[in-house]
Amino acid sequence: MLLTKLLCLVILLGLVHSEQWSRVCAQCVAGNFLTHRRVMQNSSAGQSMGFVDEWKGTDCVSGTIHSIPCENSCITIVLKKIHEEDENAFEGIMMDCSDQLIVSSPDLPQGIQFTNYNQNGVFSNHRSNLSITYSFTTDSFQNAEKIRRSFSSVVLPSYEKEYEISTIVALIGFSVLVVSLCCSFCIYSYCYEKKLREARNDKVIYQKRLLDNSDDSPTSSNDTENGSVSSSAPEIVVIKSSIDSSVPLLDVPELQETEKKFLDGKGSSKTL
């Protein structure tokens, strides 16, 4: 008897639960919907809306979709640029359950509680250079392939990933590290090349000095010999200049004979 009562209780709870969750909704985003978070949560404009972490990693267009139970209507929000000429060019798409999602919005009619809105309806408004369309439906989500086909002709911008602060800090730190390593390598290369150039210059200077010293050795010996000769040249010049003065310096006949030979080019310094 007790077992029968427990079984009836479980069946009753299942019926209540099935009535509570009247439908299943698709949960996904596409395009740049996540990057327009400030627009969809702009409290100064009167917009109060929740943002779901489960949206990250989904894609309505490619069929990466979650399915969640929902008590009220399913909602689809489409963002388009106001001056976009292409009708199929969307800025972003979001699909989810409308339960407790939108508390207030200047884009929706006032006086309607959209946190538990359980009707079909389409509402649109222009705000922040965007055309924002809210579509509510009581139809349940069937399969991802049907949604993917419904968006097959839609043109969306490339997905811009929303980074958290920790991710941004990590990226900045990694960039600084890479730049520091590159600068250190450039400085090291410059200093290394500078040392190589200085070593080459020192070697060239050393070799040049060796060559100069080797060239100076015979020259100095020749200069020494030439110096000995040149040292006697002034004596010859002096003697010649004295002789050319037409003044008889010597009265001795032998010396006069030597003087004559010297003047004729037959004498030498040794004769003197």
pLDDT digits (tens, 9 = 90+) for 210-265: 777 776 655 444 554 444 444 444 444 444 444 444 545 445 555 556 656 666 66
| Helices and strands counted in the chain (H then E) | 5, 8
Averaged over 2-31, what is the pLDDT? Answer: 64
Same domain, 185 and 150: no
| Between residues 269 and 265, the one the model is more confident about | 265
Q: Are 28 and 59 in contact (CB under 8 A)?
A: yes
- The pLDDT tens digits for 114-130 are 999 999 999 999 999 99
- Share of residues in the chain with pLDDT > 90 (%): 39
Q: Are 114 and 98 in contact (CB under 8 A)?
A: yes
- The pLDDT tens digits for 166-225 are 666 777 888 888 898 899 888 988 888 888 888 888 777 877 777 777 766 554 445 544
Number of domains into which the chain is organized: 3
Q: If residue 80 lies in a helix (H) or strand (E), which one and from where to where?
A: strand 74-81
pTM of the model: 0.54
> What is the Cα–Cα distance from 193 to 152, expressed in whole angstroms?
59
Residue 6 lies in a domain: no
Full residue range of the structural domain in which residue 243 is found:
238-267
Residue 227 lies in a domain: no
Same domain, 169 and 258: no
First-residue to last-residue Cα distance in the chain? 164
> What is the Cα–Cα distance from 94 to 267, expressed in whole angstroms?
126
Same domain, 22 and 139: yes
Averaged over 88-106, what is the pLDDT? Answer: 94
